[in-house]
Structure 1
Amino acid sequence: MSDAVRALLLEQIHPEAEAILSAAGFAVDSVDRALDEDELIARLADVSLLGIRSKTQVSARVLAAAPKLIAVGAFCIGTNQIDLAAAAESGVTVFNAPFSNTRSVVELAIAEIISMTRRLTEKNGLMHDGVWDKSAHGAHEVRGRTLGIVGYGNIGTQLSVLAENLGMRVLFFDTADKLALGNARRSLSLKELLGESDVVTLHVDGRATNQNFFGENEFAAMRPGSLFLNLSRGFVVDYGALRRQIEAGHVAGAAVDVFPVEPKGRGDEFVSELRGLPNVILTPHIGGSTEEAQQDIGRFVAGKLADFTQDGSTSMSVNMPGLVLPRATGRLRLLHLHRNVPGVLARVNGLLADSGVNVEAQLLGTRGEYGYVVTDSASGTTQSIVDQIRAMPETISLRVIF
């Protein structure tokens, strides 16, 4: 299989992923940084599987220039760096890791909340400058303070539970109807949450409508002297507005892990208007960068890529119908991605029946405008049948697994 299936892993993906893909018989190349669009296109000519993290952009142009690409693995939570619609139109299945780094992000948020509340960044800086300043001025306990969580998904809910265990009062706001955990209370509006919270933390997703979600008006609505965290997406916050609010003293501190423009590799210059501000913690997009999380992510996403390549499983794909059909030895498997219109399955089965092919197992799933059907047969499926199915106007892609 290594002759036919090549995998390219970018951005320092955990070695566990390469080990899993190599053990599955794939030829794996690894690059320790992100690639820009032209660099990526140059590397994808014979690549079937692509693994990325958050910086590499998989655009429609990239997908159009990758004729052998069948799947992209986002070794992270977010997939806004991938044109999911163009991927589906190209017959490319996309997977991510929606749960693996949740705990790591939550622990970083907790650490930063405590650090800012105790103003540890300033104490640490003074000590390194040789200044002994043993003072309680401006330092507080987190117990009894109110945490406002914006976005109550996997990360927000786990943060809610841990913050309550520290004695914090928890509010949350989410556009979707979410069940409150523990004693957390849902705020009816973002403005209500901002006006009641001592600490505001963002955990929203990367959808385009969240661009500049948090700006001047939202910072102004926060309580004077409150703290702000963004460990979600860089483009959702107006960081110029945040700088002005910190300089004015309205916001007492901030912790930021994500930025609108981030360097492609380790050692590259980091540029931000937030540099040099007091009680501001800046981290290089490391919310999920623990050995434990990266190993789990590497194992999870690589496993999804291997299962899809070998068996056609699309379980937990972010852009395809999710199907898992157990595979018996000695069967040929057809993986047919098509437009979700009436009659496609009947026509496929008609072609098989007309040629005397007995369907041993079959499973169909749909997702929006796409349908995906997995068909197993013991014998009789010929190249002519495959060509006829490929020629159907509704067909997006057809893959055959022996």
Structure 2
Amino acid sequence: MMTMTPTTPFPAERVQDSDVRVLLLENIHTDGANFLRGKGYQVDTLDRALAEGELIEAVQGVHLLGIRSTTYITEKVLNASDDLIAVGAFCIGTNQIDLPATTRQGVAVFNAPYSNTRSVVELAIAEIISLARRLHEKSTDMHAGIWNKSAAGSHEVRGRTLGIVGYGNIGSQLSVIAEALGFKVIFFDIDDKLALGNARRCSTIEELLTDADVVSLHVDGRPGNAGLFGEEQMSLMKPRSLFLNLSRGIAVDTTALRKHIESGHIAGAAVDVFPVEPKRQGDPFESELRGLRNVILTPHVGGSTEEAQQDIGRFVASKLRSYASNGGTSLSVNMPEINVHVDATRHRLAHVHHNAPGVLAKLNAIMGDHGVNIETQSLATRGEIGYVVTDIAAEVGPDVLAELAQLPETVRLRQLS
């Protein structure tokens, strides 16, 4: 059972687990929905993304919202959804979510930073080999009835140099597997990352581009990465090199990429992400990269294997459930991290507040004045937000909740039991 306590208005609506409403968009794996239904939640699903206006209407009365990469959580959406306590991004990236706004409103955000890593890496390896052997072209010719048995332009990957831009979870695992295939691996990352195996760190992206036979982009969606890879960077690449973008569509200037492919400077490319992507299955896809030989275009399927989507569905759903029912914020993208244990004999207060001196003392003074016995308590802060989880022997009444909610530092207060 949880008591939903927005800072205004008060008193709060009391919500049983069976009344918790969940909305999952964009064809999230059924394991996620089934897991949450198994916990007693009401779960609705849609197989497509929602535009801002549609989402504002759909999220009314929803406590937990699940999205993938094409639904955008804006401040306007958050302002219109008083009941929303958590958003689950059933993917790696969270750039489609206004994280500062969710944090200000005490809405927790969770994602799946590791669950589809292997799937993306396997696609990258498959596409590198396909481009090096020009398999896409040969297959297209064969379907057109053309027998073109030639070794011209077809190469082994052994002994080639793979340059990885972005050495996070995906980039580093790609590094290990590529090295096992015989690649020499170099990488560039703005953060200080430990090189795995025999990989060599480049001090600049320019150094990487001039040395690599294959360049694979694995960066996140932060605004600073918009336009990261354009005319200047492509001009620095080795003649007849290969290029892959399986990370973020905004990172690459597709006009420049088309120019360098048509000129032959870049021998082939594989692109899985695009600046503008269709919102639903079957919608038309437009890109200036269409129709180019030795260019593999895929519809944002880097992490779309049954194994990855099943893992993501279970992982993010479990994080949403832990936060909603128990107050746990382990691996939250935006909230202070508190790992909680489940004890059915205790009641729990979860208090999100502005990170200011003396908040904990104020909370405890109010509870002390009302004779509330504190059994255990955990506090964590993150930037401008603090989070306190307090276990108590008995459920507190609305007068205590009202006083706690009216503290000027309170962002969001929930009673869990």
2:381 maps to 366
Give the SS at the match of 2:304. coil
1:258 maps to 273
1:279 maps to 294
Give the distance between the partners of 2:368 and 2:54, measured in 1 at CA: 46
Give the distance between the partners of 1:107 and 1:129, measured in 2 at CA: 28
Instruction: Map residues 53-132 of structure 1 onto 2, 5 A cutoff.
Output: 53-132=68-147
Aligned sequence identity (%)? 62
Give the SS at the match of 2:130. helix
Instruction: Map residues 342-353 of structure 1 onto 2, 5 A cutoff.
Output: 342-353=357-368
Matched, 1:153 2:153: no
Give the distance between the partners of 1:49 and 1:327, measured in 2 at CA: 20
Give the SS at the match of 1:206. coil
**Which of 325, 346, 360 is residue 340 of structure 2 equivalent to?**
325
Instruction: Map residues 185-264 of structure 1 onto 2, 5 A cutoff.
Output: 185-264=200-279
In the superposition, the TM-score normalised over structure 2's length comes to: 0.95
2:189 maps to 174
Q: Deviations over 1:185-206 (max 9, x none)?
A: 0011100000000000000111
Deviation, structure 1 residue 357: 1.1
Contact 1:210 1:236 in 2 (8 A): yes
Change (3 A) 1:380 1:160: closer
Give the distance between the partners of 1:4 and 1:366, measured in 2 at CA: 30
1:21 maps to 36
**Which of 342, 363, 372 is residue 357 of structure 1 equivalent to?**
372
Between stretches 2-11 and 188-197, larger displacement belongs to 2-11
2:13 maps to none
Contact 1:11 1:33 in 2 (8 A): yes
Give the distance between the partners of 2:307 and 2:380, measured in 1 at CA: 34
Name the Cα RMSD after superposition: 0.8
Contact 2:347 2:395 in 1 (8 A): no
**Which of 11, 23, 26 is residue 8 of structure 1 equivalent to?**
23
Contact 1:357 1:380 in 2 (8 A): no
Runs of 4+ in 1 over 4 A off after TM superposition: none
Give the SS at the match of 1:293. helix
1:312 maps to 327
Count of residue pairs brought into register by the alignment: 402
Structure 1: give runs of 5+ residues left out of the alignment: none
Deviation, structure 1 residue 4: 2.4
Give the distance between the partners of 1:212 and 1:379, measured in 2 at CA: 55
Give the distance between the partners of 2:39 and 2:56, measured in 1 at CA: 25
1:183 maps to 198
Give the SS at the match of 2:247. coil
Give the SS at the match of 1:322. coil
Give the distance between the partners of 1:302 and 1:316, measured in 2 at CA: 13
Deviation, structure 1 residue 354: 1.2
Q: Deviations over 1:275-299 (max 9, x none)?
A: 0011000000000000000000000
1:303 maps to 318
2:11 maps to none
Give the distance between the partners of 2:232 and 2:305, measured in 1 at CA: 35
Contact 1:59 1:83 in 2 (8 A): yes
Between stretches 22-31 and 349-358, larger displacement belongs to 349-358
Amino acid at match of 1:38: G
Between stretches 11-20 and 1-10, larger displacement belongs to 1-10
Change (3 A) 1:380 1:307: closer
Deviation, structure 1 residue 90: 1.4
Structure 2: give runs of 5+ residues left out of the alignment: 1-15
Contact 1:11 1:32 in 2 (8 A): yes
In the superposition, the TM-score normalised over structure 1's length comes to: 0.99
Contact 1:116 1:279 in 2 (8 A): yes
Deviation, structure 1 residue 49: 0.4
